[in-house]
Amino acid sequence: MSIQDTNSENLLVVRNLKKYFPVRAGFFQKVVANVRAVDDVSFDIKVGETLGLVGESGCGKTTIGRTILRLIEPTSGQALFNGQDVFKQRGRSMKNLRRQMQIIFQDPYASLDPRMPVGESVAEGLRIHGIGSKRDRFEIAVKTLKKVGLEEYHARRYPHEFSGGQRQRIGIARAIALAPDFIVCDEPVSALDVSIQSQVLNILKDLQSELGLTYLFIAHNLSVVEHISHRVGVMYVGKMVELSPREELFRNPLHPYTKALMSAIPVPDPRLKRERMILTGDVPSPLNPPPGCRFHTRCPFAMDRCRMEEPAFREVGPDHWVACFLVE
| Site for ligand SF4, rule CB under 6 A | 255-256, 293, 295-296, 299, 301-303, 306, 311, 324-326
What is the C-alpha to C-alpha distance for residues 249 and 232, in angstroms, rounded to an integer?
7
User: Considering the complex, what minimum distance in angstroms separates the CB of residue 258 from ligand SF4?
Assistant: 10
User: Considering the complex, what minimum distance in angstroms separates the CB of residue 327 from ligand SF4?
Assistant: 8
Cβ-based nearer residue to ligand SF4, 23 or 308: 308
Cβ-based nearer residue to ligand SF4, 116 or 326: 326
User: Considering the complex, what minimum distance in angstroms separates the CB of residue 59 from ligand SF4?
Assistant: 15
In sequence order, the 6+-apart residues with CB closer than 8 A to the CB of 213 are 48, 176, 180, 181, 182, 183, 207
Cβ-based nearer residue to ligand SF4, 284 or 311: 311
Cβ-based nearer residue to ligand SF4, 74 or 238: 238
User: Considering the complex, what minimum distance in angstroms separates the CB of residue 313 from ligand SF4?
Assistant: 11
User: Considering the complex, what minimum distance in angstroms separates the CB of residue 323 from ligand SF4?
Assistant: 7
Q: What is the largest CA-CA distance in the chain?
A: 67
Q: Is the dihedral of CA 237, 241, 244, 246 positive or negative?
A: negative
Cβ-based nearer residue to ligand SF4, 112 or 237: 237
